[in-house]
Structure 1
Amino acid sequence: MSQVQEMLVPHLRHLNTYQGVDPMEVLAEQAGIPSDQVIRLNGNENPYGPSPKVVKALGSFEHYNHYPDPGQRRIRECLSEYLNVSPERIVCGNGSDELIDMLLRMFVGPGENILVPT
């Protein structure tokens, strides 16, 4: 068990990590087909896209009927190159509140006292 795993709250130490659906580009490369031919039914995605009214409302935004990469590989690789650190050392989130919440849930157990910045 790694040093970080030992610091986790006990019920998370042996929990398997979430394995989301691979990005379209990864699946396309594995299958040897263009990414626009990939249909991720195992990701509960609609291969037909939304109604024309939704398309009009979303404007130029593309791929709204596909889930993003849960592993955030592309941004982590770009940040990795820019910061000269391994992508495995980078965690992305929806703002600092989410990341702080995630850390607290992972490393602080019931009844433990902590200081939280405001």
Structure 2
Amino acid sequence: MGKLTTHVLDTMHGKPAAGVRCQLYRLDGEQRQLLADAATNRDGRCERPLLEGESLRAGVYELLFHAGDYFAAQGVKLPEPRFLDQVTLRFGISNADENYHVPLVVTPWSYSTYRGS
């Protein structure tokens, strides 16, 4: 059985992003179902997998990261409206037996992601 994890790295400050709120949704057509609502620890990781075992199913998911709130809490002067506020990553899980690691590498002005394992 696989699992889904995430990790947030603050490349503006060169450190893991602690305290970033992460929400996980499963998409079914136009409907979104909230599956997890967590915050990153001092390593920039959630304490537990967002999904694992039988709760991890093939399908389309969204991870919503509250990056703007994180950078504001770090004392970064942000414009209003914020250029990046909430970062949404929509991705698919095709094989629930595999591990999916979906990290976010972020600054107030850019982000990237990749599939880890």
* Larger Cα-atom Rg: 1
Normalising by structure 1, what TM-score? 0.21
Write 1 or 2 for the structure with the bigger share of helix.
Answer: 1
Normalising by structure 2, what TM-score? 0.21
Question: Which structure's relative contact order is higher, taking Cα pairs within 8 Å and 6+ residues apart?
Answer: 2
Write 1 or 2 for the structure with the bigger share of strand.
Answer: 2
